[in-house]
Structure 1
Amino acid sequence: MLTSLRLIDFRCFEELSLEFSECGGIFIGDNAQGKTSILEAICVLVRLQSPRAKTMRPLVRFEAAGLGLAGECWERDLTLRYGRGGAQLQIDGESLETQNLYLQQSGLIVWMGNEDVDLVRGSGGGRRHYLDFICSQLDSGYRRALSRYRRALKARNLLLKDRVSSDAELNAYAEVLIEHGDYLTKVRAQTLSLLEPLASTAQQEISGRDEKLELRFQSGSGGDMREALATTAEAERRQRQTLEGPHRDDVRITINGMPAADFASEGQQRTIALALKLAQGEAIQSIAGRVPVYLLDDIFGELDPDRRNALMKYLPKHAQKFITTTTIDWLQGEWADWEKYDVCEGRVKRLLAES
């Protein structure tokens, strides 16, 4: 799957080159040494998206003019260069004009980190981001629709703040919101219906209990963007913002019929977060027909031994997995033979297998 990775001026790394086996690898080191940045680089190279930054600029090493990422993924040579002129993308040496063309050929990713617990107890924005990351890997038109919706929403909200804006201008942007908003809502709802039974099964397997996990899509437009905008037109003028649409979508998560954010224990919330990400991987594989790469960022330290072992067992055996951890004391079984790398102050050293 991912057989090599090369970084230039990415986060704390001035330069780094790594080769990987089909299993993946385990990166070991204290906090703030660069472990997570390696997983982040894989995610950015494959999906042009960081789980820790909204734009590329924070990824550039301090005082560097830009960054470079490259690697062989799914038997394709991927290259990403970012600088003042923006991002330049290549696959097998051929320059690509759009990100969508790149993403259609690059690969699939599941990111799992400690911050995932916010999917359960955080705001709706995190759950929308979770759906967006999945939908963009399953539907080639989703990312474009999301970008156009966001641009139109921002422009329309600026007009609403201007008390002298005309109805014609507002209606022009409303048509863009209607076109793309209904599409986003439809894809999100369909995707969540696919995810729910998968997440429910994963929840029971990881927790070892008969816990009923339910996911319910809550549309921010009621499923009809045109009607929603017409109904809220006067209120929008008063509050000076677009009040309904996919930017208000959410997912209601319940465990045994109770809101998980309020009634689930810390352990249950972390298990639900794992179940959501495991469901993501299964959904991507079932629709795309390819096994995604799993990036697991320091999640094992927060799990008790039973949940940790259940998660290790549940992860797809044939999937390539990259793991960061501060210690490998918990490592056992087949995982003990994996390639391991020591990460310290931005330097990576492959550890020799014990004889």
Structure 2
Amino acid sequence: MLTSLRLLNFRCFESLSLELPEEGALFVGHNAQGKTSILEAVCVLVRLHSPRAKSMRPLMKFDASEFGIAGEGWERDLQVRHSRAGSKMLIDGEELKTQGEYLENGGLVVWMGNEDVELVRGSGGGRRRYLDFICSQLDQGYRRALSRYRRALKARNLLLKEPRLREDSIQAYTEILIEHGEYITSARQHVLTLLAPHLANTQKSVSGREEILAFEYQPGSGGSMVRAFESTAESERRQRQTLAGPHRDDFKILLNGLPAGDYASEGQQRTIALAMKLAQGDVLRSVGGKMPVYLLDDIFGELDPQRRNALMRYLPKSAQKLITTTNLDWMDQDLAGWSRYLVDAGSAKLEDS
């Protein structure tokens, strides 16, 4: 777990220094004051990943040329710096050459936010990102395979758009997509298998009902990438884009055998999203071998008391939980002794608990 967090020119924060207690902390304030950015900084520091941005550049304060995040965690001093020249990652003052080296020495994260309901009713992209975030925390090779697949996919799509097709070059990238795509699909399917037993438990715990929650994987290659590329070759040349592969993977979410995105109520969809994130934490803990840090971004205003209480009861007592909220009306006595920070206009002040 993290014991401190320091920010420099990150989002709306010119500078910030926080002590983070073992059990966690509450960050209270109006919207657009910087609460979510604090949790985002933790996610970037621990996993080199932002749940809100596709690159590091938007994380930099608008008038700055670089940003820095640092903190003490897992008995190490962690630092991430980014400028227009690129990113640097340091552990105990020593700069590391690769992201993989950095991540091997860090912790695990579960991010929970209001947008999680889109896992149930949104497009397949959100569900792919859900799997990617779990897979990359459990398997260092997954992150590498996904990066190489994405670069090859971009290059292959550009080749398919050229007026005169260079089939040898297209085939070379096809082979790269097959190699890394099969790895990605296999890892995603494995994670869904790991999630299945935990989903049954988390769904029951949050809903308070005997509801059956299940996933049904839908590979974008139909099970064989080699055959998929053979069968889509003509359509690809006509549509000028790659039509098979894990960039088209998805999975159905079934509640009592029915598609949850179509048949579940708003309350049920939010419950399913909570169950999915809690199951993620269970898998990271049991397979990844470390207790993850739980980052809960302003989710309690959208939850009724039953689901709110069920969520707090299910979260591991020994896990560090960092929670943002606009008010404390929902808070029960179990959290009354927690450290509370008032976040306002890019500052965070520790309040008396």
TM-score between the two structures when normalised by the length of structure 1? 0.98
- Give the structure 1 partner of residue 99 of structure 2: 99
Structure 1, unaligned runs of 5 or more: none
- Give the structure 2 partner of residue 122 of structure 1: 122
- Give the structure 2 partner of residue 24 of structure 1: 24
Alpha-carbon distance in 2 for matches of 1:196, 1:59: 35
Structure 1 residue 34 displacement after superposition: 0.6
Alpha-carbon distance in 1 for matches of 2:220, 2:332: 46
Question: In the alignment, is residue 195 of structure 1 matched against residue 195 of structure 2?
Answer: yes
Question: In the alignment, is residue 134 of structure 1 matched against residue 134 of structure 2?
Answer: yes
Alpha-carbon distance in 2 for matches of 1:84, 1:310: 44
Structure 1 residue 211 displacement after superposition: 1.1
* 1:54 alignment partner, SS class: coil
Structure 2, unaligned runs of 5 or more: none
Alpha-carbon distance in 2 for matches of 1:138, 1:339: 31
Alpha-carbon distance in 2 for matches of 1:333, 1:311: 15
Amino acid at match of 2:92: D
Structure 1 residue 223 displacement after superposition: 2.2
- Give the structure 2 partner of residue 35 of structure 1: 35
Alpha-carbon distance in 2 for matches of 1:265, 1:288: 33
Check whether the contact 1:343–1:349 (CA below 8 A) recurs between aligned residues.
yes
Range with greater deviation from structure 2 (120-129 or 216-225): 216-225
Amino acid at match of 2:346: G
Amino acid at match of 1:157: N
- Give the structure 2 partner of residue 284 of structure 1: 284
Structure 1 residue 107 displacement after superposition: 1.1
Range with greater deviation from structure 2 (225-234 or 107-116): 225-234
Structure 1 residue 309 displacement after superposition: 0.4
Amino acid at match of 1:307: R
Range with greater deviation from structure 2 (219-228 or 134-143): 219-228
- Give the structure 2 partner of residue 12 of structure 1: 12
Per-residue CA distance 1:42-93 (angstroms, 9 max, x = gap): 0011111110111111110111101000001111110111001100110111
* 2:79 alignment partner, SS class: strand
Range with greater deviation from structure 2 (146-155 or 330-339): 330-339
Alpha-carbon distance in 1 for matches of 2:91, 2:307: 39
- Give the structure 2 partner of residue 262 of structure 1: 262
- Give the structure 1 partner of residue 239 of structure 2: 239
Q: Within 5 Å, give how 1:129-208 maps onto structure 2.
A: 129-208=129-208
Alpha-carbon distance in 1 for matches of 2:244, 2:163: 20
Structure 1 residue 333 displacement after superposition: 2.7
Question: In the alignment, is residue 217 of structure 1 matched against residue 197 of structure 2?
Answer: no
Check whether the contact 1:110–1:295 (CA below 8 A) recurs between aligned residues.
yes
Per-residue CA distance 1:118-162 (angstroms, 9 max, x = gap): 000000000000000000000110000000000000100111111
Amino acid at match of 2:126: G
Identity %: 65
* 1:232 alignment partner, SS class: helix
Check whether the contact 1:182–1:223 (CA below 8 A) recurs between aligned residues.
no
Structure 1 residue 163 displacement after superposition: 3.2
Alpha-carbon distance in 1 for matches of 2:70, 2:241: 42
**Structure 1 stretches of 4+ moved >4 Å:** none
Alpha-carbon distance in 2 for matches of 1:347, 1:16: 7
Structure 1 residue 339 displacement after superposition: 0.8
Alpha-carbon distance in 1 for matches of 2:35, 2:139: 31
Amino acid at match of 2:333: G
Alpha-carbon distance in 2 for matches of 1:163, 1:255: 47
Question: Considering only aligned residues, what root-mean-square deviation do their CA atoms show, in Å?
Answer: 0.8
Question: In the alignment, is residue 82 of structure 1 matched against residue 72 of structure 2?
Answer: no
Structure 1 residue 250 displacement after superposition: 0.3
Structure 1 residue 201 displacement after superposition: 1.4
Range with greater deviation from structure 2 (107-116 or 203-212): 203-212
Amino acid at match of 1:291: M
Per-residue CA distance 1:92-134 (angstroms, 9 max, x = gap): 1111111111111121000000000000000000000000000
Alpha-carbon distance in 2 for matches of 1:117, 1:84: 34
How many residue pairs match? The answer is: 353
Alpha-carbon distance in 2 for matches of 1:198, 1:330: 27
Per-residue CA distance 1:218-253 (angstroms, 9 max, x = gap): 101122211111111111111111101000000100
Alpha-carbon distance in 2 for matches of 1:330, 1:126: 29
Structure 1 residue 312 displacement after superposition: 0.5
